[in-house]
């Protein structure tokens, strides 16, 4: 039976919430002119640091039809990872998003099932789904789809919900009803700018020098952490949540309900001594299915050594 565009849109949004996604918005698939200009400026300033992959596939980053032929819609989704009840036996900090199972694996599985349900209900279509795994400007698409605005800390902020969300997308070759962007509600607030210990956020906000961000320094950077950042790491050894912790909008954050994002008892019980004396075998066992694996054993030990030395 023929299903019209509005019905399909309504069905997709209801199904997204049924599957546990915290928000869903839909944008028209088209070339991102303004975002392309901003990305080019950001790269020219060298704010990507040693992340040379950011210069690859520029056209794909700003044009969804380069990823899916005849793309018409970008379905944007959010998945909550906020967990305020994390107990730690150590001073060393791991970003909240990385304390449970690797989100790529958890969300990709959900997206795969969602994709198949759409196909089963409405028939075959061409499309792809992404979880931080392809050259997709996910925050910009989420903004275009009305899920929130990109704040001064350069993260997507959703009214009455905050920013502790993973973002993912489906790019598909069928039309849907499209959502409109919403206003920016950062106002005159500068809490994230003032709180960033490495001054990675531009004084006016909205631009991040990635090469100064603690997340970059502890995860992406493969060389030694520059000494100029000593006394600025605030015990972070994998990622950083400071600009989210101080954001007033995150007072609306609510705990997630995803069991796989909860840290295991072994992780929560790690002491300073456990971190400092961790062996590679222990690292492999503890972080086998964790995003922390991205930094590698040597990278994590480098981070711990740098933080400890500058305490």
- Is the Cβ–Cβ distance between 16 and 114 less than 8 Å? yes
At which residue do the structure tokens 């409109």 appear?
Answer: 180
108, two tokens: 């990709």
Q: Please list the active-site residues.
A: 132
Cα–Cα distance, 14 to 21 (Å, whole number): 10
The sign of the dihedral angle between the CA atoms of 20, 21, 23, 26 is: negative
- Give first-to-last CA distance, the chain, whole Å: 66
Query: How far is residue 165's CA from residue 224's CA, in Å, rounded to a whole number?
Result: 30
In contact, 148 and 156? CB cutoff 8 Å: yes
CA 196/CA 214 separation, integer angstroms? 9
């Amino acid at each position: 039976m023929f299903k019209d565009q509005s019905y399909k849109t309504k069905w997709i949004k209801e199904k997204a919430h049924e599957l546990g996604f915290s928000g869903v918005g839909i944008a028209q698939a088209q070339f991102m002119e303004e975002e392309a200009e901003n990305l080019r400026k950001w790269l020219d300033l060298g704010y990507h640091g040693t992340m040379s992959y950011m210069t690859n596939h520029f056209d794909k980053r700003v044009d969804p039809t380069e990823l899916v032929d005849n793309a018409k819609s970008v379905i944007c989704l959010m998945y909550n990872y906020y967990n305020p009840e994390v107990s730690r036996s150590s001073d060393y900090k791991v970003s909240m998003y990385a304390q449970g199972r690797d989100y790529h694996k958890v969300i990709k599985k959900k997206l795969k099932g969602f994709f198949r349900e759409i196909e089963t209900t409405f028939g075959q279509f061409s499309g792809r789904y992404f979880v931080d795994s392809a050259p997709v400007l996910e925050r910009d698409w989420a903004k275009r789809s009305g899920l929130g605005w990109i704040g001064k800390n350069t993260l997507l902020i959703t009214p009455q919900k905050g920013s502790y969300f993973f973002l993912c997308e489906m790019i598909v070759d069928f039309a849907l009803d499209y959502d409109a962007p919403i206003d920016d509600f950062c106002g005159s607030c500068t809490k994230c700018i003032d709180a960033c210990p490495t001054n990675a956020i531009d004084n006016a906000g909205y631009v991040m020098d990635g090469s100064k961000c603690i997340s970059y320094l502890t995860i992406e950077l493969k060389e030694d952490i520059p000494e100029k950042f000593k006394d600025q790491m605030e015990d972070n050894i994998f990622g950083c949540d400071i600009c989210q912790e101080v954001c007033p909008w995150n007072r609306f954050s609510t705990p997630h309900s995803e069991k796989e994002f909860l840290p295991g008892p072994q992780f929560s019980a790690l002491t300073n001594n456990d971190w400092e004396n961790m062996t590679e075998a222990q690292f492999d066992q503890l972080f086998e299915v964790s995003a922390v694996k991205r930094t590698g054993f040597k990278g994590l030990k480098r981070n711990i050594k740098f933080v400890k030395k500058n305490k």
